C-alpha cells in the first residue's frame, strides 16, 4: 500500500518510523520539518501550502495520514484530499476530542488522538483491511446523520450576522454543524467554512449543514418561526 504522510513533527516522525520507508512519501510545509525528514532518509516532498494543484501532482497512493500541528489546516487538508481523491483511505490526527465530529464530516475514515493511543495503533489499523471496512460502515451508514441545504429567510436571526459569530452557538444549541455556504450574490460555488472566511450571512444565502435529521429540521423551523413581526417567509 502506497502511503502519503502529511506533517513531520514528533508524532508524524513516530508514525513514519512505524510505517517504514518503503512506499511512503512524507509531505511537509516548512523548512524545519523538511530537514528533519530528510535527515531520517525519508522520501520528502515540500509544498508551499495546501493547494489542489500541488496535491494532484502526488503519485498514485492508497492511504493519506494527516498529522499537521494546526488543527484547522489539518481539517482543511482532509477536506481537500477527500474532494480530490474519493477512493483513498484517510487517517487523521485530532488534537481535540471535540473536533472528531468535524473530521468525520470531512470524510476521514479514522481519527487518531495522540493523547489516547500510540502511533503503533495506526499500523494495526492499516494492516487489517477488515477493521478499516468496519470503521467505514459505522461512519457512513449512520441513518440518523443527514446533510441538508437551508436557505436563510429574510429577517431571520441569522440575517446580517457573521458566520464566526454564530457557528459555535448553532452547534451548541442545535447539535448541528455548518460546513459550507452558498452566497447567491457572489456565485453559486460552495464556500467551505473551514477555509477560514468570516462570511457575512444574508437572506437567501444557503447553509449546508450536517447532523441528526430531527435537529436539522428544528433549526430550519426556528429560522422561520423567529421572524420579526410583519415579515412573512414565502
Residue 136 pLDDT > 80: no
Question: Averaged over 131-138, what is the pLDDT?
Answer: 48
Quote the pTM value: 0.53
Say how far apart CA 21 and CA 5 lie, in whole Å. Answer: 11
Length of the chain: 234
pLDDT for res 65 = 96
Q: What is the pLDDT of residues 155-188, one digit of tens each?
A: 888 988 988 888 888 888 888 888 788 876 665 5
Residue 144 pLDDT > 90: no
Q: What is the pLDDT of residues 42-81, one digit of tens each?
A: 999 999 999 999 999 998 899 999 999 898 899 999 999 9
Q: Where in the chain is the domain with CATH 3.30.70.1450?
A: 145-225
Three-class HEC string of the chain? CCEEEECCCHHHHHHHHHHCCCCEEEEECCHHHHHHHHHCCCCEEECCCCCHHHHHCCCCCCEEEECCCCHHHHHHHHHHHHHHCCCCEEEEECCCHHHHHHHHHCCCCEEECCCCCCCHHHHHHHCCHHHHHHHHHHHHCCCCEEEEEEECCCCCCCCCCEHHHHHHHHHHHHCEEEEEEECCCCCCCEEEHHHCCCCECCCCCEEEEEEEHHHHHHHHHHHHHCCCCCCCCC
Q: Is pLDDT larger for residue 130 or for residue 170?
A: 170
Fold of 3-140: Rossmann fold (3.40.50)
Residue 6 pLDDT > 90: yes
Q: Where in the chain is the domain with CATH 3.40.50.720?
A: 3-140
Say how far apart CA 72 and CA 82 lie, in whole Å. Answer: 16
Class of domain 145-225: alpha beta
Burial 207-224 (b: 16+ CB within 10 A, else e): bbbbbeeebbebbbeebe
Residue 126 pLDDT > 90: no
- Percentage of the chain beyond pLDDT 90 is 34
Mean pLDDT, the chain, integer = 81
Q: What is the pLDDT of residues 90-115, one digit of tens each?
A: 999 987 777 888 898 889 999 987 75
Q: Is pLDDT larger for residue 191 or for residue 202?
A: 202
Q: Is pLDDT larger for residue 176 or for residue 228?
A: 176
Least-confidence region, from 69-73, 82-86, 192-196, 230-234? 230-234
pLDDT band of 8, cuts 50, 70, 90: very high
Q: Is pLDDT larger for residue 121 or for residue 219?
A: 219
Is 199 in contact with 181 (CB distance < 8 Å)? yes
Say how far apart CA 74 and CA 82 lie, in whole Å. Answer: 12
Amino acid at each position: 500500500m502506497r502511503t502519503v504522510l502529511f506533517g513531520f513533527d514528533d508524532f508524524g516522525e513516530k508514525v513514519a518510523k512505524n510505517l517504514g520507508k518503503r512506499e511512503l512519501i512524507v509531505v511537509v510545509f516548512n523548512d524545519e520539518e523538511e530537514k528533519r525528514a530528510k535527515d531520517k532518509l525519508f522520501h520528502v516532498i515540500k509544498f508551499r501550502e495546501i493547494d489542489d494543484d500541488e496535491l494532484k501532482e502526488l503519485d498514485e497512493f492508497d492511504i493519506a495520514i494527516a498529522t499537521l500541528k494546526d488543527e484547522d489546516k489539518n481539517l482543511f487538508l482532509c477536506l481537500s484530499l477527500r474532494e480530490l481523491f474519493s477512493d483513498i483511505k484517510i487517517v487523521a490526527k485530532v488534537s481535540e476530542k471535540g473536533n472528531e465530529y468535524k473530521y468525520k464530516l470531512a470524510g476521514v475514515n479514522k481519527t487518531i488522538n495522540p493523547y489516547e493511543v500510540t502511533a503503533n495503533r495506526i499500523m494495526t489499523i492499516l494492516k487489517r483491511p477488515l477493521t478499516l471496512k468496519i470503521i467505514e460502515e459505522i461512519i457512513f451508514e449512520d441513518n440518523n446523520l443527514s446533510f441538508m441545504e437551508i436557505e436563510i429567510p429574510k429577517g431571520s436571526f441569522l440575517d446580517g450576522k457573521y458566520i464566526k459569530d454564530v457557528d459555535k452557538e448553532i452547534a451548541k444549541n442545535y447539535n448541528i454543524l455548518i460546513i459550507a455556504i452558498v452566497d447567491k450574490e457572489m456565485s453559486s460555488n460552495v464556500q467551505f467554512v473551514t477555509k477560514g472566511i468570516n462570511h457575512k450571512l444574508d437572506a437567501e444565502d444557503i447553509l449546508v449543514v450536517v447532523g441528526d435529521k430531527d435537529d436539522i429540521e428544528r433549526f430550519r423551523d426556528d429560522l422561520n418561526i423567529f421572524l420579526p413581526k410583519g415579515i412573512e417567509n414565502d
